[in-house]
């Protein structure tokens, strides 16, 4: 079977994702679609609007054949680590093609990756601008391009990961259709995930931009998961934990432990807290990720340990996806998990297990232990 891979968050799954699936199959002539999907927290470190099982079901009912979870130590990361983790899993699953959206699919991303090798690395030591700003200044000087759009940034990261790891994966950027990534209004049949989340928050109809599985799941949502709900846990941890221990939290570097402690002591809301810690040096995405690492008490050593033990946690499949799993299961290098038991959640998948327990603040559904994959068969 010829597989095509997609790297996704589906936050939530919408009509634009259906277009992505259809184009991926058309471009590659694939007969099975495999999605590597982040779990209950996004790359930015925010809780997903629906849990990973609801998003898996929507994907399987609308063209995806196999959904594998991107572990949290790969998913809640800057673009280059997010992309590298996703390609690592797809490569292990023997996937030869990956199709992804980009704002400028005609760009020669391989050339941009090569240009980075000629950067002045010493300039990144200055603290008066974010890394992204300094990166784009140098990229623009060498190539005339800047990576400012989210999907272009990920496209660059896929090419870089494939090159650095010599993955035998063909990369296919395609043009995004309809709304831009950060658009906040629904104007047609395809809208950005941001616009859909905003519409749900405002109790507006989303039937025209999302399939029935997503609409039904969101209709049952009592309240959008967000950081304001998690802030009491974060604030208490930051206040109660000694600064020297805060320094052990993953990515809590360059004095952030002091800024986070001070902000937690002063601010009663998460919006006030995050604005208090923001500086030119750090993007909001970086700061949100650190918030999640902190509230989960994820340390540098835990991330280092997790990175040397990747795994394939199957969230769901169709009959075709199940057939593909049978085809490759003896060829994959990483553990292939279809159900999480005591041994796994205490060891291999401990970080995802803990993330699932945290996410249960928003849902009464068990996220990992003994949760079998979702199976969607013809006619379901």
Q: In b/e form, how buried is each residue of 239-265, taking b as 16+ CB within 10 angstroms?
A: eebeeeebbebbbbeeebbebbbebbe
Q: Which residues share a beta bridge with 8?
A: 37
145 marked as binding residue: no
14 marked as binding residue: yes
18 marked as binding residue: yes
118 marked as binding residue: no
Longest dimension (CA), the chain: 59
Cα distances from 323 to residues 2, 71, 320, 328, in angstroms, run 12, 23, 5, 9
DSSP conformation class of 100: E
Q: Is 137 helix (H, G, I), strand (E, B) or coil?
A: helix
From CA 59, how far away is CA 283, in angstroms rounded?
30
12 marked as binding residue: yes
176 marked as binding residue: yes
379 marked as binding residue: no
Asked whether the beta carbons of 14 and 1 are under 8 A apart, the reply is no
Asked whether the beta carbons of 350 and 357 are under 8 A apart, the reply is no
Match 């936050």 to its residue by tokens: 11
313 marked as binding residue: no
Asked whether the beta carbons of 179 and 193 are under 8 A apart, the reply is no
15 marked as binding residue: yes
11 marked as binding residue: yes
Listed in order, strand segments (DSSP E) in the chain are 3-8, 32-38, 66-70, 97-102, 170-175, 312-318, 336-337, 374-376
151 marked as binding residue: yes
Say if strands 3-8 and 97-102 run parallel, antiparallel, or are unpaired.
Answer: parallel
104 marked as binding residue: no
From CA 183, how far away is CA 195, in angstroms rounded?
6
Tell which phi-psi region holds residue 330, choosing left (phi > 0), alpha (psi between -120 and 50) or beta.
alpha
Cis before 12 (ω within 30): yes
7 marked as binding residue: yes
From CA 65, how far away is CA 3, in angstroms rounded?
10
Match 């057939």 to its residue by tokens: 323
16 marked as binding residue: yes
Q: Which residues are annotated as a binding site?
A: 7-20, 101, 151, 176
Q: Which residues are annotated as a binding site for ATP?
A: 7-20, 101, 151, 176
């Amino acid at each position: 079977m010829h597989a095509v891979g997609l790297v996704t968050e589906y936050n939530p799954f919408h009509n634009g994702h259906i277009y992505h699936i259809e184009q991926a199959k058309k471009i590659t002539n694939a007969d099975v679609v495999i999605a590597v999907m982040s779990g209950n927290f996004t790359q930015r470190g925010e809780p997903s609007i629906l849990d990973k099982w609801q998003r898996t079901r929507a994907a399987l009912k609308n063209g995806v054949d196999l959904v594998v979870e991107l572990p949290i130590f790969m998913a809640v990361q800057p673009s280059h680590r997010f992309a590298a983790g996703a390609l690592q899993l797809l490569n292990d699953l023997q996937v030869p093609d990956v199709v992804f959206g980009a704002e400028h699919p005609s760009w020669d991303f391989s050339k941009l990756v090569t240009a980075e090798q000629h950067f002045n690395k010493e300039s990144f030591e200055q603290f008066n601008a974010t890394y992204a700003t300094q990166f784009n200044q140098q990229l623009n000087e060498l190539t005339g391009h800047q990576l400012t759009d989210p999907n272009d940034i990920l496209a660059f990261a896929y090419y870089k990961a494939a090159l650095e790891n010599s993955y035998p994966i063909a990369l296919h950027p395609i043009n995004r259709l309809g709304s831009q990534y950060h658009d906040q209004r629904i104007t047609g049949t395809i809208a950005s995930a941001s616009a859909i989340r905003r519409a749900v928050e405002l109790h507006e109809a989303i039937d025209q931009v999302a399939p029935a599985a997503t609409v039904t799941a969101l209709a049952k949502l009592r309240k959008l998961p967000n950081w304001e709900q998690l802030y009491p846990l974060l604030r208490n941890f930051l206040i109660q934990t000694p600064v020297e221990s805060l320094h052990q939290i993953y990515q809590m570097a360059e004095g952030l432990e002091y800024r986070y402690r001070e902000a937690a002591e002063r601010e009663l809301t998460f919006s006030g807290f995050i604005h208090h810690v923001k500086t030119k040096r750090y993007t909001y995405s970086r700061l949100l990720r650190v918030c999640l690492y902190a509230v989960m008490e994820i340390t540098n050593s835990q991330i280092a340990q997790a990175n040397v033990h990747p795994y394939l946690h199957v969230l769901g499949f169709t009959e075709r996806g199940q057939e593909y799993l049978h085809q490759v299961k003896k060829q994959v290098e990483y553990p292939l998990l279809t159900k999480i038991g005591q041994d796994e959640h205490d060891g291999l998948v401990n970080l995802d297990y803990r993330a699932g327990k945290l996410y249960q603040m928003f849902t009464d559904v068990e996220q990992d232990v003994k949760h079998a994959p979702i199976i969607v068969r013809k006619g379901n």
